[in-house]
Structure 1
């Protein structure tokens, strides 16, 4: 069914303000860095860009090409989740339109169909845990009425966070030449999303089960597992590092990408980002190398 801004099932209708007059100044407690910086020597040669940021002390530990504009793949969903948690209501019911039927080859989908009804809480779990692209469209239309309108909101919100080298065209990260961001901008977005307890809970989840309704009211089960190899136990973090969670992303254009939230033995919280790693193996090799920079 089409989006109806007057429907109680679509309780939010955020649009772009079309102005930057409400942009707030940078927070004093964020990392600031040059494009390349090494507090300690780390080597991530198989990735186009990477960064390690101490979110507790607001210090940059490592930076490689952190201001280079790159395709982020599904790391885009961090921003989608941030906006949903900022403006939406977890208990709201979202009704899928025909636009959730994504046909791009290889796109990760939960299999939504027109008329399916999910809560925002269910959609966010599918978005962040399973990286469901159709859940991204569902959330975008719930919040702004269309993917295009939501992308404009994403760009406005990015600028408010100081993510000035970012331009989004969709809520999921499927490839578009005009869809890009940077390691540093992703750090800013992830750092902002961390303020929400629900975001921290979902990215730390390994499995999620729930039930939603199709257009006839029949129950449909959700059974999904995390795409994060650290949380699944497939990859071990360095000694003294505890991976809390994060977001994976992979497309042919973006290659393999990952953003993580971790705790160090020093009691600090860290955000680490890898963009453009050649494949899954090199992605986790590069990320594990970054994590060795945590005390």
Structure 2
């Protein structure tokens, strides 16, 4: 009788475990029993578990913040305090915009996540860019360079043919690479973003927002190589042509604060960023900056009407840091 009683108790206990398992998983498949753990949880008062939310380490904004800046009509922008996880300034930060070459921030993220820096990339015929005015280094079919070299040229010089080179070699095709870009954007919560290519040349259904650029740039900064590259003022290298000859490449950072074309605002150090310009997108810039205490900020300006306006409005935006 005792054995039967013990068996009943064990069966009852097992049933309770299975019921509880089904309750928290939403299904009865025992393969997924107890899938949730709380390694990232904190403990509040009285030992209560406080779970971290998706945005607990992010700046958030759903509306305009601040009104002290005089801006041109079309400009959209945002200033995000990485230390306090606070949005300091925002104007139309959720508006759907053409990103131009700010797209290449996501190109770099996928390449750094999926590739290796010493990986040799080989150009095929798809690297030929026919669009008038598109920034290129004139890659030819059969040319080769490492991913490390390609990322420097991509982020500093914004070469559109190098973006295609990276995409085809990392994912096997540009279409497959772009799918990975979109998947990564979704994973980051960039819900106002969709890509059609890896370089940002104007295309239907290719868009992002100021806030999504903050999310993507914030993710890119987790890669030391990305941060290292965007801080450089220039870069020189050699790569092999299809005939086996070495070709020299010397590029300068397109960021006016880094290359010395524009003076940094007083009390602010610009650590690097990414520019983007097309007729459809206007003039765009996303960058990392720090104050005199070493606190870091991400600043985004999009759809400025010209280069001078872009850097003037970016300077005014960065000065909001010192006005806190």
Q: Measure the CA separation in 1 of the matches of 2:189 and 2:312.
A: 30
Specify the SS of the correspondent of 1:232: coil
Alignment match of 1:37 (pick from 65, 79, 100): 65
Q: Measure the CA separation in 1 of the matches of 2:154 and 2:298.
A: 20
Question: RCO higher in 1 or 2 (8 Å CA, sep ≥ 6)?
Answer: 1
Q: Measure the CA separation in 1 of the matches of 2:317 and 2:73.
A: 12
2:83 matched to 1:56?
Answer: yes
Alignment match of 1:87 (pick from 114, 117, 122): 114
Unaligned runs of 5+ in 2: 1-52
Q: Measure the CA separation in 2 of the matches of 1:233 and 1:119.
A: 28
Alignment match of 1:217 (pick from 244, 248, 251): 244
1:205-233 Cα deviation digits (max 9, x unpaired): 11101111011211011111111110111
Give TM-score scaled by structure 1 length: 0.89
Specify the SS of the correspondent of 1:258: strand
Contact in 2 for aligned 1:235/1:284 (Cα 8 Å): yes
2:295 matched to 1:268?
Answer: yes
Per the alignment, residue 120 of structure 1 pairs with 147
How far does residue 177 in structure 1 lie from its aligned partner after superposition? 2.0
How far does residue 46 in structure 1 lie from its aligned partner after superposition? 4.7
Q: Measure the CA separation in 1 of the matches of 2:166 and 2:74.
A: 31
Per the alignment, residue 170 of structure 1 pairs with 197
How far does residue 45 in structure 1 lie from its aligned partner after superposition? 2.5
Contact in 2 for aligned 1:93/1:118 (Cα 8 Å): yes
Specify the SS of the correspondent of 1:229: coil
Q: Measure the CA separation in 1 of the matches of 2:120 and 2:55.
A: 34
Specify the SS of the correspondent of 1:230: coil
Specify the SS of the correspondent of 2:258: helix
Specify the SS of the correspondent of 2:257: helix
Alignment match of 1:160 (pick from 164, 174, 187): 187
Per the alignment, residue 34 of structure 2 pairs with none
Instruction: Single out whichever of 257-266 and 162-171 deviates more from structure 2.
Output: 257-266
Contact in 2 for aligned 1:237/1:291 (Cα 8 Å): no
How far does residue 27 in structure 1 lie from its aligned partner after superposition? 4.6
Q: Which segments of structure 1 move beyond 3 Å, counting only runs of 4 or more? A: none
Contact in 2 for aligned 1:256/1:276 (Cα 8 Å): yes
Task: Tell me the number of residue pairs that the alignment of Structure 1 and Structure 2 aligns.
Answer: 270
2:294 matched to 1:283?
Answer: no
Per the alignment, residue 254 of structure 1 pairs with 281
Specify the SS of the correspondent of 1:103: coil
Per the alignment, residue 131 of structure 1 pairs with 158
1:112-147 Cα deviation digits (max 9, x unpaired): 110000000000011000000001001111111121
Higher helix share: 2
How far does residue 92 in structure 1 lie from its aligned partner after superposition? 0.5
Per the alignment, residue 220 of structure 2 pairs with 193
Unaligned runs of 5+ in 1: 1-24
Q: Which is higher, the Rg of structure 1 or of structure 2? A: 2
Instruction: Single out whichever of 249-258 and 40-49 deviates more from structure 2.
Output: 40-49
How far does residue 47 in structure 1 lie from its aligned partner after superposition? 4.0
Contact in 2 for aligned 1:108/1:131 (Cα 8 Å): yes
How far does residue 35 in structure 1 lie from its aligned partner after superposition? 3.0
Specify the SS of the correspondent of 1:154: helix
2:134 matched to 1:102?
Answer: no
